[in-house]
Amino acid sequence: QLEFARFESRYYIFLIAAMILLMMELLIPDRKNKWLKIEKLFR
């Protein structure tokens, strides 16, 4: 059960980090152009 709790804490940290990135995306419109360039590189 300890191992599951550790995994859950990692999952929450990842979720919080994703939410922060999303907030930054909404607050800073200039970053959207950079993300589009990154998407083009992967495609």
Local confidence pLDDT in tens for the 43 residues of the chain: 667 677 788 888 899 999 988 887 777 666 667 777 778 878 7
In the chain the first and final C-alpha atoms are separated, in Å, by 41
Residue showing tokens 């992967």:
42
**Cβ proximity of 24 and 14 under 8 Å:** no
Structural domain including 36 reads: 2-42
Q: Which of 9, 39, 17 is nearest to 1 (CA)?
A: 9
CA 42 to chain centre: 17
Structural domain count, the chain: 1
Q: Is the pTM of this model over 0.85?
A: no
